[in-house]
Amino acid sequence: MNLEKLEKILSSEPKFRLKQARQAVFVDLIDGWNQATNFPLGLRERLNQECPLGIEAEIIKSQAADSFKALVRLEDGLKVEAVLLNHVDGRKTVCVSSQVGCALGCLFCATGQMGFKRNLTRDEIVAQVLLWARRLKYNPLKFPFERGAGGLNFITKEGGRVTNVVFMGMGEPLLNYENVIAAIRTLNNKEGLNIGARHISLSTVGVIGGLKKLAKEKMQINLALSLHAPGDELRSKLIPANKKYPLEAALEELNNYLEQTGRRVMIEYLMIDGFNDSREQALELAVLLKKIQPPLFFVNLIAHNPVADFKPSPAKRIFDFKKILRDQKIDVTERYRFGQDIKAACGQLAGKL
C-alpha cells in the first residue's frame, strides 16, 4: 500500500476524488479499488494496477485470545510484526513497529538481537493499523476468555474499531522520526483513521534530541520512557545505547518535554529476576525519579517476558518493589502481560511467527 503514490495519481483528478479515496481507505476500509464503486471503472483499474491496497500478512492468536500477532510482509520481502491487544472493556490496541529490526541492541529485546535493517515508511506503519482495522470490521473477534480476580469470565465485544495505537513494536520510533510523526498525523487525521491523539502512545529509550523535537510538535500523544534501571552503569548493560543517551541527559530532555507539553509520562521499568529488582534498587529508582517534575509521571512495572537468559521477577518481589515506590509517594502500576505464548509480548518481537 502506497498512499503517497495514491495522492500523486489523484493529483490530476478532480479535487474531491482524493477525499473520496481517503473515505474509502480509512472509513469504508476497502482492501481493493473495485469496492470503490463511486470511482470510474478506468480509474479503479489503474489504481488496482499501480496502487493496490492489499496487505500481505500471516496471523496467529494467543490461547487466551487476548492478543493476535500479524507478520506483515513488506514490498521488499522484509517482515515486521503488528500486534492487536484485545481488552476486556472493548478497547482494541494495535502495537506497531517503526523499523525493521533495531540498532540499539537492548539485551532484553528480541528485536534488538536482529540488528537494524531499515526504517519503515509512513505508509508501512499506517498499513499495520489498517490491517487490524479491516479485520475488526470484516472478521469480528468473538473469542470468550477468562482473566482477572475471582476467575470472572469476560467476553470481548464483537467487532468494533481500533481505539488505541502504541509505538512499542519493533524499532526505536525516535530514530525514524519523520516517518513516525507523519504516520501519527495520518492516524489522527479526521480524514484518516481518526484515532484521538490521546489514544496514541510512543515509547522511547530517550533519544537525545528526539524528545526536544517531539515537544515542539505540540501533539497530545502519550509518551513512555524505557528506563529499566536506576543508574547508568546497570542501564548500559541492558541498553548499550545508554552510553550515547545517558540518564542525566535523557531526564533533562524529559523535563523539558514536560514543561513544554504538560503531558503525563509513563516510566517503563522491566522487572528482571536478580538484576534490577532488589529493595536497594527500588530506593535508588525513587531517588532518581524525584528529578522528574511531579506529578507528571508514573511508573509502569513490566514483568520481563522471557528473552535470552533473563527471567521475570517473582510476583512477590514485584509486589514488594511496587510497595517501596508507593511508600516513597511514587505513583506505580503493573502491566498486564499479553501474548507470551505467541511471542507477541513486550520485547519478544523478532520478525517471525
Asked if the model's pLDDT at residue 14 lies above 70, the reply is: yes
Has 203 been labeled as part of a binding site? yes
**Which residues are bridge partners to 72 per DSSP?**
57, 80
Residues 14 and 157 reside in one and the same domain: no
Does residue 87 lie within any of the structural domains?
yes
Q: How confident is the model at residue 112 (pLDDT cuts 50, 70, 90)?
A: confident
% of the chain beyond a pLDDT of 90: 70
As a whole number of angstroms, the longest Cα–Cα distance in the chain is 69
pTM, two decimals, is 0.90
Q: How confident is the model at residue 215 (pLDDT cuts 50, 70, 90)?
A: very high
Whether 100 and 120 have beta carbons less than 8 Å apart is answered as: yes
Q: What is the pLDDT of residues 159-173, one digit of tens each?
A: 578 999 999 999 999
Residue 302 three-state SS: strand
User: Which of 281, 284, 288, 273 lies closest to 225, judged by CA?
Assistant: 288
User: Residue 171 annotated as binding?
Assistant: yes
Average pLDDT, the chain: 87
Q: Decide if 96 contacts 132 (C-beta within 8 A).
A: no
Among 142-146, 256-260, 341-345, the range of highest mean pLDDT = 256-260
- Structure confidence by residue, pLDDT tens digits, 232-277: 999 999 999 999 999 999 999 999 999 999 999 999 999 999 999 9
The answer on whether 54 is annotated among ligand-binding residues is: no
User: What's the grid cell of residue 15?
Assistant: 479535487
- Please check the confidence at residue 330 and state whether its pLDDT lies above 80: yes
Looking at the structure, tell me whether residues 233 and 324 fall in a common domain: yes
Instruction: Assess whether pLDDT exceeds 80 at residue 157.
Output: no
Domain that holds residue 86: 57-342
Note the pLDDT of residue 224.
96
**Pick from 29, 26, 173, 22: which is nearest to 96 by CA?**
173
Q: Are residues 136 and 224 in the same domain?
A: yes
> Which residues, 6+ apart, have CB-to-CB distance to 264 below 8 Å?
222, 295, 296, 297, 298
Mean of pLDDT values over 25-53:
95
pLDDT score recorded for residue 5: 92
Rounded distance between C-alpha atoms, residue 94 and residue 293, angstroms: 30
Residue 196 has a pLDDT of 96
Our count of domains for the chain comes to 2
267 and 199, same domain (yes or no):
yes
- Do 30 and 67 have their domain in common? no
Query: Would you please indicate which residues are annotated as catalytic (active-site) residues?
Result: 81, 346
User: What pLDDT, on the 0 to 100 scale, is given for residue 52?
Assistant: 94
Are both 72 and 27 inside the same structural domain? no
Please determine, for residue 297, whether its predicted confidence score (pLDDT) is greater than 50: yes
- Is 102 known to sit in a ligand binding site? yes
According to DSSP, residue 96 is labeled -
Q: Which candidate, 298, 319, 300, 311, places its Cα nearest to that of 340?
A: 311
In this structure, the answer to whether residues 41 and 141 fall within a common structural domain is no
- 305 is annotated as contributing to ligand binding: yes
Residue type, 317: R
Domain CATH for 280: 3.20.20.70
* 199 appears as a binding residue in the annotation: no
Q: Is 304 annotated as a binding residue?
A: no
> Are both 32 and 130 inside the same structural domain?
no
Lowest mean pLDDT among 6-20, 125-139, 330-344: 330-344
Averaged pLDDT, 63-82: 87
Q: What is the pLDDT of residue 326?
A: 96
Contacts of 325 by beta carbon, 8 Å cutoff, 6+ apart: 282, 285, 286, 299, 332
Does 210 share its domain with 102? yes
Q: How many residues does this entry show for the chain? A: 353
Both 88 and 175 in a single domain? yes
Q: Looking at the structure, do residues 35 and 100 belong to the same domain, yes or no?
A: no
Cα separation, 125 vs 94, in Å, equals 11
Q: Is residue 349 part of a domain?
A: no
The C-alpha atoms of residue 238 and residue 250 are separated, in whole angstroms, by 16
